[in-house]
Amino acid sequence: MIPIQKEILELKETFFETDSPVLSIYADINPAKPENAGRAWAKRIKNALKTLPEIHNAQGKRDTPLYDAVLELIDQERPQARTLALFATRGRHGRLLTKRLDLQVELPVVDLAHGRVDARWGEPYLTPLFFAADEYEPTGVLHLEGSGWRFYEVFLGEVSEDSEIFKEITIEDWKELEELTARIDNATSLRKAMGGKGFDRLSPKERESAKISAWMHRLYMRLAVALEKAVMRLNIQRLVFMGEDWQTRHFEGYLSRGLRNRVVAHVAHPANRKAQSSRDIMERIQPVLEAAERAAEMELLDRIAKQPGARGLDEALDALQMGRVDVLVLPWKLEAKIWRCPKEGVVACSEEMARIFCDEPQQVALRDYVWLLAQEYGARLEFVRGAAEERVLKEFAGAAALLRW
């Protein structure tokens, strides 16, 4: 499990079911943005803290130790990230509990429009993290390199190498594969120089000289089985192959149909081929992952248009509360307001509709309740960006839903 996954689980255990009020802070800290130069985001967070209602302890006095602990966390120098999430509360016997996460991704559902900081005191606001854990699908990156293939798990922009996947492959196996791969590389390079197109166009004689042997076939079968076991163990939803194109394409042919369907891209070796860092890997795969995500979003909207599914927030919420929604699609920048009956839990787009179910409905931000609504009615959430977000706003009037029936 990637460290960030463990940290989110620890957050749930520590803050989600606490009876004490919780300070929840989300902030845009992306150093690539000019407005964050010189750690300007830290000043914005501190200013946001000043605007909160008095943060007090069990005796009703200002909780200065909590403030000081939060300020200390804010001032810590950390590796570059895009979003900061910070939480603080009093646990059992008044024990001070704090946690800061530096995320390599942007989060939906967070209101960063006003100063790019969302700070709250009261109920723990963990919804954005819960959603991120659901939204950013775990991706596996298989690097086919020389004397030892490597497999990485990518989640929320973080990279962790899995050491279990190929533990049954011997050093001798890797050495022979490296030598065989080098001979094939030489043969394919020669073929390309003579006007051919690579491995798939090698003649029988060239294949014999490259020694595409039964041994290689058996090893690829073993490697494919090892990959499938790792994908199941780590719940990998998407796969990216990294290496020479002839080899990644050749190896893909050994995968089961289900595994091949998870392959979203083939990319070249990272810049630092022999000792790649997490940044090297992310720089190579980030563009193809984003392209795959945008394509999947457009495909989902095509399915909704063809079904036809629900269009507009009013129709989508009505279908959701009838248990008809399989996937609820919303814009990444979710600014919609809804009316909610606190006791009944019913929501509506208008006050008039909400008054059918209760006398005093409350207007709330949809982003604060959308996760709970989806959980309650068994729907999957999909927040879309780019062209898909524009399409949801224009073609689907702000919301869309793929229906079960």
380-393: per-residue pLDDT in tens? 999 999 999 999 99
In the prediction, which pLDDT does 84 show?
Answer: 93
The Cβ of residue 266 has, within 10 Å, a number of other Cβ atoms equal to 18
In the prediction, which pLDDT does 1 show?
Answer: 67
Contact (CB, 8 A) for 240 and 270: no
Least confident span in 46-55, 244-253, 263-272 = 46-55
In the prediction, which pLDDT does 4 show?
Answer: 80
Q: Where are the alpha helices (DSSP H) in 235-354?
A: 245-252, 257-260, 278-306, 313-321, 351-354
Q: How far apart are CA 220 and CA 241, in angstroms?
A: 14
Token duo for residue 116: 């790019």
Distance of CA 260 to the CA centre of its chain: 21
Q: Read off the pTM.
A: 0.82
Between the CA of residue 358 and those of 314, 346, 368, 372, what are the distances in Å? 18, 9, 20, 20
Distance of CA 181 to the CA centre of its chain: 34
Look at residues 76, 103, 100, 112 and name the one whose alpha carbon lies nearest to residue 15: 100
Q: Residue 6: enclosing H or E segment and its boundaries?
A: helix 3-11
196 pLDDT more than 60: no
For the stretch 341-366, pLDDT in tens is 999 999 999 999 999 999 999 999 99
Q: Where are the alpha helices (DSSP H) in 76-213?
A: 127-135, 171-193, 204-210
b/e burial code for range 358-379 (CB count within 10 A of at least 16 → b): beebeeeebbbbbbebbeeeeb
Q: Which domains does the chain have, with CATH numbers?
A: 3-135 (3.30.960), 139-292 (3.30.420.60), 307-403 (3.30.1330.30)
Q: With cut-offs at 50, 70 and 90, classify the pLDDT of residue 169.
A: very high
Mean pLDDT of the 51-79 span: 86
In the prediction, which pLDDT does 91 show?
Answer: 84
Q: Residue 162: enclosing H or E segment and its boundaries?
A: strand 158-162
Least confident span in 5-14, 32-41, 69-78, 295-304 = 5-14
Contact (CB, 8 A) for 306 and 396: no
Contact (CB, 8 A) for 189 and 202: no
189 pLDDT more than 60: yes
- The residues that bridge with 84 in the sheet, in sequence order, are 27, 102
pLDDT more than 90, % of the chain: 59
In the prediction, which pLDDT does 132 show?
Answer: 79
Phi, psi angles (nearest 5°) of residue 121 = -130, 120
Mean pLDDT, rounded, of the chain: 88
Distance of CA 394 to the CA centre of its chain: 26
